[in-house]
Every structure is written in C-alpha cells, then in structure tokens.
Amino acid sequence: MGKIEWAMWANEQALASGLIYLTGGIVGVAGQLKGWEFAAFGIAAGVFVCLLEYPRSKRAKGTSVERTGQYCFTVCVKAFGPLTRNYYVRAFLHAALCVPGGFMLATVLGCVCLGMASLIYLSAAIHGEHWEPIMPKMEPLKHAAQSIKHPPQNPPPRPPPELRRKRTDDLESAAYVNPIPVTANES
C-alpha cells in the first residue's frame, strides 16, 4: 500500500552499523587481539560510513526531518555529486567496506549489519530512489506594497459641513452615502 521509501530505512541501518563497526574496531585494536589490522580498518570504515550516512535525504513526498546539525555534512556529501546521489554506488561501497570486517571476531557483527544495509540500499536503488540534500529554505523578503510610496494627496471626499452636522431631528436624511466606495487595501 503506497510507496515505501527504502532509502530511509537503509540510512538508519547504515548509520547504526557504522557505529557497531567502529566499536568493534576499537575493541579489537585496544585489546591487541589477533588480526588487529582488520580492526584498524574497521575503525576507519566505521567513521567514514557514519560521516557519509549522517545527513538524511530529502523525502520524495512529505516533510523531511533533519538530524541535528546535519547541514555541514549535507554540504560535504553534496559536493561529491553523482557518486553520493546514486544508491547503487552506495550499495557496492558498503558491500566492499564490510568484507574485511568478516576476518576478525570483534568486527564480525559490524560486517553483517553493514552487509544488510547494503542490500537494502540495493533495493532502494532498484526502486529508482536517489539522495537529495535538504537545503534550508530561503524565506522571500516581504516587500511593502508600491502604494506606500504614493500616499494620497487629498483628504477623502466629504459632504459640506452643514450636512455633516448632527441632525438629531431628522435621522433618516442625516445619513449619507460615500461618493467613493470604501474597500480593503489591495496590496
């Protein structure tokens, strides 16, 4: 029912798996476990994936919710143009980054999660989605109407003072109709 935006889910998964990859890498390097070179690669890959995935894409339909402080990341990611716009590129990039993690116990979890995120990105790419940056909206400046430069020269037309004086004895004829109709200010 309706179009599902796979890319949003893939983005959340990729961000979470980047963090898991990073944590696994830190544990591997800190504990000097066997194969710690893979863990060091895991740290670098985890940081890179987190930076790439932090800025959310603009939704095709509806309001997009930004992550806090994502504007600077959006600018960086946007600078790479079609490489980051296309989700096929992202899917293959994540698949390639996750493979070395499988060789070391501490980063295995990060590898599997990033692999899943890569699959969902592939599904998003097949459905024709792409990454759009969320740019802040520029409010158009409200200009004052042109009529503010040309104030009226004459006072509004009024009947002569004899008619304007209050005539309490004859209320019916004391009422007058404005010669020029009073309307709201068109601007």
Partner 1 sequence: MGLVLRSWVANEAGKHCLLVVWLAVSVWLFWRTFSLYSSGPQYYYLHQMLGLGLCLSRGSASVLNLNCSLVLLPMCRSLLTALRGTHQVNSRKARRLLDKSKSFHVVCGVAICVLSVVHVSAHLVNAVRFSVRYSDDFPALNLAQHRGQDPRVLILTTVPGITGVLLVLILFLMFTASSYSIRVCNYEIFWYTHNLFILFYVILMVHVVGGAVKYQTNVEAHPPGCIWANRSKASSDMWSNQEPQGETEEESKVASPIVCREDAHFQPHFPQTWLWVLAPLCLYCVERLYRCIRGSAPVTVVSVIRHPCDVIEVRMLKSGFKAWPGQYILLNCPSVSSFENHAFTLTACPTQNKETFGIHIRVVGDWTECFSHLLFPELEHSEILPMMHQRRYPKLYVDGPFGTPSEEVFNYEVSVCVAGGIGVTPFASILHALLDGCSQYKLRRLYFVWVCRDLQCFYWFAELLCGLHHKLWEENRPDYLNIRLFLTNTQQLQGLTEEKYRPLSSRLVIGRPRWNLLFQEIGRSNQHKKVGVFCCGPKGISRELHKLCNSFSTSGTVFEYNKESFS
Q: How far is the C-alpha of 25 from the C-alpha of 20, rounded, in Å?
A: 8
Residue 54 in tokens: 């932090």
Q: How far is the C-alpha of 39 from the C-alpha of 41, rounded, in Å?
A: 5
59 is an interface residue for partner 1 by CB under 8 A: yes
Write down the least CB distance from residue 6 to partner 1, Å: 8
Stretch that binds partner 1, among 56-64, 73-81, 135-143, 174-182 (CB under 8 A): 56-64
Three-point CA angle 70, 72, 75, nearest 5°: 110
Q: How far is the C-alpha of 138 from the C-alpha of 62, rounded, in Å?
A: 18
Residue 130 forms beta bridges with which residues?
86
Q: How far is the C-alpha of 181 from the C-alpha of 85, rounded, in Å?
A: 59
Stretch that binds partner 1, among 59-67, 84-92, 162-170, 173-181 (CB under 8 A): 59-67
Structure letter (DSSP) for residue 32: T
Q: Which is nearer to partner 1, 83 or 94 (CB)?
A: 94
Binding mask 61-80 for partner 1 (x = CB under 8 A): -x--x---------------
Q: For residue 159, give the nearest of 183, 171, 177 by alpha carbon.
A: 177
Number of residues that bind partner 1 (CB under 8 A): 24
89 is an interface residue for partner 1 by CB under 8 A: no
Write down the least CB distance from residue 135 to partner 1, Å: 18
Stretch that binds partner 1, among 78-86, 112-120, 138-146, 165-173 (CB under 8 A): 112-120
Q: What are phi and psi of 50, to 5 degrees?
A: -60, -45
8 is an interface residue for partner 1 by CB under 8 A: yes
Positions in the binding site for partner 1 (CB under 8 A): 1-2, 4-6, 8-9, 12-13, 16-17, 27, 33, 56, 59, 62, 65, 105-106, 108-109, 112-113, 116
